[in-house]
Amino acid sequence: MDRFTDQAPFFTDDHRRLAASAASFVWREIEPHAARAEEATDEDFRSLVALLAEADLLRFCVRRDAPLDVRSLCIVREELAYSSALADAAFVMQGLGTYAVSLAAPAHVREFWIERAAAGRAVAAFALTEADAGSDVSAVSTTARLEGDAYVLDGRKRLISNAGVADFYTVFARTGTRADGRAELSAFVVSARMPGFSVRERTQLIGAHPIGEIEFNNLRVPAEDRVGDEGDGHPLAMRTMYVFRPSVGAAACGMARRALDEAIAHAKRRRQFGAPISSFQLVQAKLAEMATELDAARLLVYRAAYARDAAERGEATADSSALTRAASEAKLYATEAAQRIIDEAVQIHGGAGLVRGAVVERLYRDIRALRIYEGTSEIQKLIIARELLKE
């Protein structure tokens, strides 16, 4: 049993009940299928989204009439990632793909897509990255030009989660160039059924994750369906990242916690030189360091989530610089620590940890992406330093 929510000061009774119910759901509904994630079809993925909706978990990532509770978002991601990176992706993409829509889309667009996403009837996606525009958002080359009562989109997006599975995409495209030479970005909701939309490629990653490249060819989006005003795309994308960034750390903590549990269990079972390897001091030192790093990571993650929630509720001064720094520290440390923890878990397992399909082998592949997406570790360091130098 995990006691972190009972011991840490960041949680209410509702959070503790959520942690318990989410863990029960995961062990009952997700864990039996987790090992077969790489065999999952698009229909399996859609069924997974529907299952999350049926369990009433999507309300913790799809924003509707009130701000998201980031601690709840993190709790659910941690529990899902403990068992299945695919289930975690299915959950969080419903939030990432709808957040900007919930903030700034016209009422008719918001009501149509948000309701379907929250009910698990529509799969969402967030389309920002391009071949030459990852960390450098100003390099976005997909264009949206206004022609009459519609915007015409042309361009490609790369490494888009849920590409080919999603029913709609929140797309960020260049509508002009600012005085400083950087791209003026605007946001649009694009249905996968619109003429001019196509999936160019389904990309295979080292872990199970639906992802690929999409293209817009003379695709017309009604001007009344634009998300926010022209030029609001960049701030909307950043607001999305700032809310969801601590939850990437939470997913990393879920994976690291599973690796630690697997390592402890294996160390107690595995016997060498006539004794369980858990009796060897070098193995004990590894376990001690893994547990300490995990605790530190979780504290950073839930500190950032608590601070965001307190600011939203008006219980604390909304210091945007401090919130940004806390989110980046959480994402940076938790993902890097989780990589180290999982690597040590594989080492403790020895050759058994390298066998395809072993839990720690799967974790070793799944954790790697978290140090890259939603801002690389290097970008997080730059953000942290920038906010420090403002003080």
297/334 Cα distance (integer angstroms) = 5
Identified catalytic residue from 130, 374, 378, 391: 374
Measured in whole angstroms, the distance separating CA 247 from the mean position of its chain's CA atoms is: 6
Tell whether the torsion through CA atoms of 138, 144, 146 and 151 is positive or negative: negative
76/360 Cα distance (integer angstroms) = 21
Reply yes or no on whether 374 is catalytic: yes
- Written as six digits, the tokens of 353 are 């940890």
At which residue do the structure tokens 């289930």 appear? 87
Give the residue among 96, 61, 98, 53 at the shortest CA–CA distance from 78: 61
Residues in the chain: 391
Residue 112 makes CB contacts below 8 A (sequence gap 6+) with none
351/363 Cα distance (integer angstroms) = 15
Q: Give 152's strand partners.
A: 145, 220
Q: Which residues are catalytic?
A: 374
